[in-house]
Amino acid sequence: MATTRPRLVLGGTSSGAGKTTLTVGLMAALAKRGMSVQGFKVGPDYIDPTFHTAATGRISRNLDTWMMEPSSMKEIFWRASEGADISLIEGVMGFYDGKDPKSNRGSTAEIGMLLDAPVILIVDIKAMARSAAAIVKGFQLLEPAVNIAGVIANRAGSANHFQLVKTAIEQECGVPVIGYLPHDPAITAPERHLGLVPAVERGELQPWLDLLAEKVAATVDLDQLLTITEQHASFDKPEPILFTKRDNEGLEPVTIAVARDSAFHFYYQENFELLEAYGAKLHFFSPLAGELPPADADGLYIGGGFPEEFAARLEEQVNVRHVLKSMIEGGLPTFAECGGYMFLCEAIHDRAGNRYEMLGIVNNEVKMQTKLAALGYREAVALADSILLAAGETARGHEFHYSSLVHELEHDHAYEVSGLRGRKKEGFAQGNVLAGYTHLHFASNPGMVQRWLSHCREWKRTREESVT
């Protein structure tokens, strides 16, 4: 069934070309026109979707063809874009960069082709003129199936500089150059420092969003951009795979307590929605604010974030730590990833060497370091039965953190994970607890959701029987 889903992919010639600045600026400018804008980010990143959400007021989603099947990616796009006037899809790295240097797998180009979406190529034109046309021509020729429908220039030295580039590209490449952004540090996307997400949540970046919207509206032809999307708005509704109609009758409803605040905020929205689709009710609480999960919670989910930035405050929440530890040790099915994994350890050491007490569920401590400890896609193979995976089952996700464990592991690992640097064992799997540095995307294996909720229902029955 064909319908309309106006959409546009914003791809860069490389990392640092200005994708985030221009994408967020376009979102903010179109939102100021009164349009409903849906944001998407190619790849596993959590930070850029936070910018998108701040600019549009709609929860941004991740589109990924490695962590999930292309059919699932299309379904996520379809669902999230419902009711939006336009969807803007920010690319990752360079336009053709993905999982494999020999193919388009996992790249922005692949997403663009799968969604049959027009592409606006963002080109950093600093210190070049006609040469910019050679760059665009190369991107057109590498994959003819890609629909590069326009170009936006970034870091233009002046309006005259932009005109030189525009003339060359339009003559040699046959696509319109619909605008530019000047070289201006004031409109560059803020660094992704550890306090960025809390700053967004507090509204501290609103002046930057307003300025960016103003600058983009002044030098980018928004009407021409909208015309491009309208010319390619038709989209066939995908067959539902992840979110099919299910009969949950006869299954007990369960409540999953979800830690969500400035310390724990890295979650895939689809993970939440898949839990709800299989019969869970989500109860959000803030450990930082001293909030507790409901006493009758049937499961606990502690996602990633920056607990190290709030370690002192988390340590001060003695009652929260005591109650959570008691509930987990009492049998509450608990899944924690990355920042949540750190929270479950005995302590966090910050970069200054200060030590802060955490929950003490995992018999280890973590320390922060200045260098990145791990980054990249991960395929996780369960080494033993856990609350999410049976031994031998696989799930996909990614790993990104600056912390490392202080001691050698003295417990059973959760997974064997593989990435670009080979295989390693990681995580913690013991009884009712599964934790690790790897962020798992439930769309990679929805059976994880069913398995977890079955453990939650079993725990609920056990708890209810114990009080009767």
CATH code for position 139? 3.40.50.300
pLDDT score for 310:
94
Domain co-membership, 281 together with 225: no
pLDDT score for 185:
84
Residues 6 or more apart in contact with residue 256 via CB below 8 angstroms: 275, 280, 281, 282, 283, 297, 298, 299, 300, 301, 456
Residue 85 tokens, joined? 């006037």
Q: Tell me the per-residue pLDDT of 255-273, one tens digit each, with 9 for 90 and over.
A: 999 999 999 999 999 999 9
- Helix (H) or strand (E) holding 42, with range, is strand 37-42
Domain co-membership, 260 together with 231: no
Q: Tell me the per-residue pLDDT of 121-146, one tens digit each, with 9 for 90 and over.
A: 999 999 999 999 999 999 999 999 99
More confident residue, 200 or 381: 381
CA dist 55 and 32 (Å) reads 10
CA angle 387, 389, 393 (to 5 degrees): 170
Last residue of a domain, one of 208, 236, 264: 236
Sheet arrangement for strand 415-419: 422-426, 415-419, 374-382, 394-401, 439-440
pLDDT score for 211:
94
Domain co-membership, 199 together with 340: no
- How many folded domains does the chain comprise? 2
Domain co-membership, 318 together with 423: yes
179 part of a folded domain: yes
CA dist 176 and 225 (Å) reads 10
CA dist 192 and 362 (Å) reads 29
Domain co-membership, 91 together with 163: yes
Domain co-membership, 220 together with 368: no
242 part of a folded domain: no
- Helix (H) or strand (E) holding 277, with range, is helix 269-277
Q: Tell me the per-residue pLDDT of 346-357, one tens digit each, with 9 for 90 and over.
A: 999 999 999 999
Last residue of a domain, one of 236, 267, 297: 236
Domain co-membership, 167 together with 64: yes
Domain co-membership, 179 together with 264: no
Average pLDDT over residues 396-413: 85
Average pLDDT over residues 144-164: 97
411 part of a folded domain: yes
Expressed as residue numbers, the domain containing 333 is: 254-466
247 part of a folded domain: no
70 part of a folded domain: yes
Domain co-membership, 74 together with 114: yes
Among 128, 133, 122, which residue's Cα sits nearest to residue 216?
122
244 part of a folded domain: no
Domain co-membership, 332 together with 460: yes
Share the mean pLDDT of the chain: 93
10 Å CB burial of residue 72 (0-12, 13-18, 19+) is buried
Residues 6 or more apart in contact with residue 144 via CB below 8 angstroms: none
Sequence-ordered alpha helix ranges (H) in 174-221? 196-201, 206-219
- Contact between 208 and 199 under an 8 Å Cβ cutoff? The reply is no
Residues with catalytic function: 338
Of the listed ranges 91-100, 136-145, 167-176, the least confidently predicted one is 91-100
The pLDDT of residue 359 is above 60? yes
pLDDT score for 389:
97
48 part of a folded domain: yes
- Contact between 284 and 258 under an 8 Å Cβ cutoff? The reply is yes
User: Would you give the end-to-end CA distance of the chain in angstroms?
Assistant: 53
Q: pTM of this prediction?
A: 0.94
CA dist 221 and 209 (Å) reads 18
The pLDDT of residue 190 is above 80? no
Domain co-membership, 321 together with 436: yes
Q: Tell me the per-residue pLDDT of 239-250, one tens digit each, with 9 for 90 and over.
A: 999 998 665 656
Last residue of a domain, one of 210, 236, 262: 236
Sequence-ordered alpha helix ranges (H) in 33-69? 47-56
The pLDDT of residue 328 is above 70? yes
The pLDDT of residue 41 is above 90? yes
Q: Of all residues in the chain, what percent carry a pLDDT higher than 90?
A: 81
The pLDDT of residue 193 is above 60? no
- Give the CATH number of the domain where residue 340 resides: 3.40.50.880
The pLDDT of residue 360 is above 90? yes
The pLDDT of residue 223 is above 60? yes
Q: Tell me the per-residue pLDDT of 11-31, one tens digit each, with 9 for 90 and over.
A: 999 999 999 999 999 999 999
Of the listed ranges 35-39, 102-106, 331-335, 365-369, the least confidently predicted one is 102-106
Average pLDDT over residues 179-184: 94
Domain co-membership, 133 together with 203: yes
- Contact between 276 and 250 under an 8 Å Cβ cutoff? The reply is no
361 part of a folded domain: yes
